[in-house]
């Protein structure tokens, strides 16, 4: 009987937690929808003119305005907008004459591919750099890592991208230039995941893979520099806090090897907050790659958003903004779930 009561309590607590999670995500997404909707209504761009052109007659303008539903009350327009989004209908793009949802499904994987490689570089180099800087606090290693992290924060992305192209593409010839793949390989690999390097590996097309890798490595490395700077600084801060704790001193007094004190005891204690840092950094790369995509002519969501802004294509602008915001929400919530899974104290505090 007691076991059944405990089991019922666990199941009930899990159900409440899932329900709470769904409600929070739904309300956050509703707020994002409201934000994008009202941004589309306050910007000084007439969506009707972007469709009919500035030479349309007043009668043509009014017909288009009614057809677009802009004659209805604002609250009715918002409800209709929410219903359309839930059906994955983001309207038509005036730039491409295709549904915005199809455009975003085509360009978002390119951004995700570059940002994923960037975060792998950032985590793979930033975490060890932060740990070493904390372990050798005040040494030349610490100073070099801190200066590099500061430069990573300070250098503009477009400048670093242009310098990277000038050095590694134009001068040294180590990588290929702008674009996602060489023109003679474009479109020959069937789309499976949307990630060109992965699709090329699935098809066993090594020439396409080498071309795609040569194109992606430089912009991804530049994104990795920015995430590396943030991750290294936060890792160093977390590690310094843990290395000053009494349990670390006790471990050292007991004769535990220094590498074990640092990488097992201290680093093990910072894994949970580090997950949040990495998640936020990844989301930042996904939403902050506009400059890099513009410099490298990368066909991702940032480049798509920039083109839409220049063409006053509000459906595309709002659709891209909505997708970026939704991805940020999802990554943030996944980080929160992982935080609770790995840290039992957070689960006990939320009950």
Confidence of residue 11 (pLDDT cuts 50, 70, 90): low
Burial annotation 87-115 (CB, 10 A radius, 16+ → b, else e):
eeebbbbbbbeebbbebbebbbbbbbbbb
Region 21-37 average pLDDT: 82
Provide, rounded to the nearest whole percent, the portion of the chain with pLDDT above 70: 92
Region 7-35 average pLDDT: 72
Is the pLDDT reported for residue 239 higher than 60?
Answer: yes
pLDDT digits (tens, 9 = 90+) for 272-298: 889 889 988 898 888 777 888 988 989
pLDDT digits (tens, 9 = 90+) for 315-345: 888 888 888 888 888 888 887 777 777 665 5
Separation of alpha carbons 73 and 5, rounded Å: 53
Is the pLDDT reported for residue 182 higher than 50?
Answer: yes
Tokens of 108: 């978002």
Confidence of residue 14 (pLDDT cuts 50, 70, 90): low
Separation of alpha carbons 218 and 214, rounded Å: 8
Spatial neighbors of 180 by CB under 8 A, at least 6 apart, are 110, 186, 196, 212, 215, 216, 298, 299
Between 49 and 132, the more confident residue is: 132
For residue 348, the model assigns a pLDDT of: 52
Separation of alpha carbons 66 and 128, rounded Å: 59
Poorest-pLDDT segment among 45-59, 149-163, 203-217: 45-59
Q: Which of 91, 81, 101, 86 is nearest to 37 (CA)?
A: 81
CB 185 within 8 A of CB 207: yes
For residue 344, the model assigns a pLDDT of: 58
For residue 148, the model assigns a pLDDT of: 87
Region 95-118 average pLDDT: 90
pLDDT digits (tens, 9 = 90+) for 121-166: 999 999 999 999 998 988 898 899 989 888 887 888 888 889 999 9
CB 233 within 8 A of CB 134: no
Provide, rounded to the nearest whole percent, the portion of the chain with pLDDT above 90: 23
Is the pLDDT reported for residue 226 higher than 50?
Answer: yes
Q: How many CB atoms lie within 10 A of CB 7?
A: 10
Between 256 and 210, the more confident residue is: 210
Tokens of 143: 């100073």
Confidence of residue 3 (pLDDT cuts 50, 70, 90): very low
pLDDT digits (tens, 9 = 90+) for 58-96: 888 788 778 777 778 888 888 888 888 888 888 888 788
């Amino acid at each position: 009987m007691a076991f059944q009561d405990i089991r019922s309590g666990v199941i009930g607590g899990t159900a409440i937690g899932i329900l709470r999670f769904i409600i929070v995500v739904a309300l956050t997404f509703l707020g994002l929808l409201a934000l994008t909707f009202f941004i589309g209504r306050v910007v000084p761009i007439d969506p009707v003119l972007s469709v009919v052109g500035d030479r349309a007659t007043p009668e043509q303008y009014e017909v288009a305005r009614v057809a677009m539903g802009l004659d209805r009350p604002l609250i009715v327009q918002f409800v209709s907008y929410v219903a359309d989004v839930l059906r994955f209908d983001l309207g038509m793009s005036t730039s491409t004459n295709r549904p915005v949802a199809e455009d975003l499904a085509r360009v978002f994987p390119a951004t995700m591919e570059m940002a994923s490689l960037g975060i792998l570089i950032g985590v793979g180099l930033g975490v060890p750099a932060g740990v070493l800087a904390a372990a050798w606090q005040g040494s030349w290693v610490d100073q070099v890592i801190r200066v590099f992290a500061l430069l990573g924060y300070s250098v503009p992305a477009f400048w670093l991208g242009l310098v990277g192209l000038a050095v590694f593409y134009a001068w040294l010839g180590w990588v290929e230039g702008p674009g996602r793949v060489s023109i003679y390989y474009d479109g020959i690999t069937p789309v499976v995941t949307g990630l060109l390097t992965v699709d090329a590996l699935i098809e066993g097309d090594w020439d396409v893979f080498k071309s795609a890798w040569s194109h992606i490595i430089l912009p991804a490395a530049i994104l990795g520099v920015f995430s590396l700077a943030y991750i290294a600084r936060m890792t160093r801060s977390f590690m310094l806090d843990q290395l000053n704790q009494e349990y670390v001193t006790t471990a050292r007094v007991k004769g535990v090897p220094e590498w074990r004190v640092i990488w097992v005891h201290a680093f093990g204690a910072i894994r949970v907050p580090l997950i949040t840092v990495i998640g936020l950094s990844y989301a930042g790369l996904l939403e902050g790659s506009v400059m890099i995509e513009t410099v490298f002519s990368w066909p991702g969501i940032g480049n798509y958003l920039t083109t839409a802004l220049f063409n006053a294509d509000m459906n595309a602008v709002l659709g891209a903004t909505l997708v970026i915001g939704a991805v940020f929400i999802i990554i943030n919530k996944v980080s929160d779930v992982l935080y609770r899974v790995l840290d039992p104290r957070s689960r006990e505090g939320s009950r």
